[in-house]
Amino acid sequence: MPSPVGHTLSVCIALPILGRGIWQKKASPSLLLASIFVANSPDIDFLAGFLVGAPNQFHHQLTHSFFFALITGILFAVLFSDKDKQQKNSTPQRTRLFLYFTFLATLHLVLDLFCTDTTAPFGLMLLWPLSNEYLISPIALFSDIRRASDTSSFIPSLFSLHNFLAVLQEVGILTGLCLMSWWGETRVRMYSSRP
């Protein structure tokens, strides 16, 4: 799985694709923090693992599914849509927010899908609750982030040369994807504004 650095960079990919209209109207520190949180939200399964003394125990399971991405999108769309019921654009705004936040959570799954997985079961439970099967891409674009399986050494194990190099690889690939996303959005806007 990519690191939180890589997942946070995915916000830069989502913004030009689905977030531009939202950010022009609602730009705020809370929206930025929510975007970063949602981009990393499937990894909340580590918290459940910490509670039972095995941080990796539930990783890549229920929270790494399209169902979780949809629920996250709904929740954050409701949280960030305007509370004023009289506003006539509230439904389109809520729909844009839903698509934006769902896309962010889904980007997390896509990045994890294209990551080297060295711990069984390999892959993600993308189709849960319809299926408990683990899916993984045969092509790995990202290196794995190595981490200890016990609570006491989990955090220290993240700070290794291997993980540092993996983060550099993520930054390189995702920066390129961010630039392509912004360039593509600029081209679409330029052509759509022509008479």
Provide the pLDDT for residue 86.
45
Q: Say yes or no to pLDDT of 89 above 70.
A: no
| Inter-residue contact 167 to 139 (CB < 8 Å) | no
Q: How far is CA 149 from CA 50, 76, 165, in A?
A: 10, 31, 21
Query: Residue 15: what pLDDT?
Result: 84
Asked if residues 53 and 151 have their Cβ atoms less than 8 Å apart, the reply is yes
pLDDT of residue 84: 46
pLDDT in tens, 124-149: 999 999 999 999 999 999 999 999 98
8 Å CB contact between 2 and 10: no
Domain extents for the chain?
A: 4-192
Write down the pTM of the prediction: 0.88
Q: pLDDT value at position 28?
A: 77
